[in-house]
Amino acid sequence: MNRSTIILLIILMLCSLSLVAAQQKTRSLYVALERAQTEERRLNQEWLRLEYEQRNLSKSSRITDIARKQLQMQPINPGRTQYVVVD
């Protein structure tokens, strides 16, 4: 075996090792990506749930009910409204 063969063999070994390392890295990154995507889905769901809750809390029937019963408010009428025209 001459010297160049040995050098090539070493390079080949290094390449193979780096391939294994790269594969390992890909996989761990993929796992992280998976986790992030799961988290994204969870947060999306959470957002939908919060949006629904907000809608439930702000719907007309609830507001009317609270305004009338708890806050003793009355519906406005045009006679007690000052109209402002925005140019």
Partner 1 sequence: MPRISYSSTPNLVLRLPMWRSRLVLFLIFIGFISLVLRAIWVQGFDNSFYEEKGNKATLRTIEMPASRGKILDRNGEVLATSLLAKAIIAFPEAIPENIEKNKIVELARLLEMSESEIRKKLASEKNQVFLKRQVDLEIAKKIKDLGIPGIAQNSEYKRLYPEGEAMAHVVGFTNVEDRGQEGMELAREKDLAGQPGRRRVIQDRLGRYVEGLGIINPPKDGADLQLSIDSKVQYLAFNEIKAIVEKHQAKAAGVVVLDVQTGEVLALANWPTYNPNTRVGLTGEKLRNRVLTDTFEPGSTVKPFSVAIALEKGLIQPNTQMQIGKKVVIGKKAITDTKSYDTLTVAEIIQKSSNIGTAKIAMQLSAQDMWEMFQSVGLGQAPTIGFPGAVAGRLRPHKNWVPIDQATMSYGYGLSASLFQIARAYTIFARDGELVPATMYKSDVKPKGTQVISAKTAIQMREMLETVTQTGGTAINAQTLGYRVGGKTGTSHKVEGKGYSTDKYRGFFVGLAPMSAPRIVVAVMVDEPRVGGYYGGVVAAPAFSNIVAGTLRGMSVLPDAAIKQMVNKDTPIPLSDSTQKVSLSR
Q: Where on the chain is the footprint of partner 1 (CB under 8 A)?
A: 26-27, 30-31, 34, 41, 45, 48-49, 51-52, 55-56, 59-61, 64, 76-87
If the CB atoms of residues 11 and 49 are measured against partner 1, the closer one turns out to be 49
- Written as one letter, the residue type at 87 is D
Smallest gap from residue 27 Cβ to partner 1 (A) = 4
If the CB atoms of residues 72 and 79 are measured against partner 1, the closer one turns out to be 79
Neighbours of 21 (CB within 10 A): 10
Smallest gap from residue 19 Cβ to partner 1 (A) = 14
Question: H/E element holding 13?
Answer: helix 3-58
What does the block give as tokens for 26?
């890909």
If the CB atoms of residues 12 and 31 are measured against partner 1, the closer one turns out to be 31
Q: What is the largest distance, in Å, between two alpha-carbon atoms of the chain?
A: 107
User: How far is the C-alpha of 14 from the C-alpha of 8, rounded, in Å?
Assistant: 10
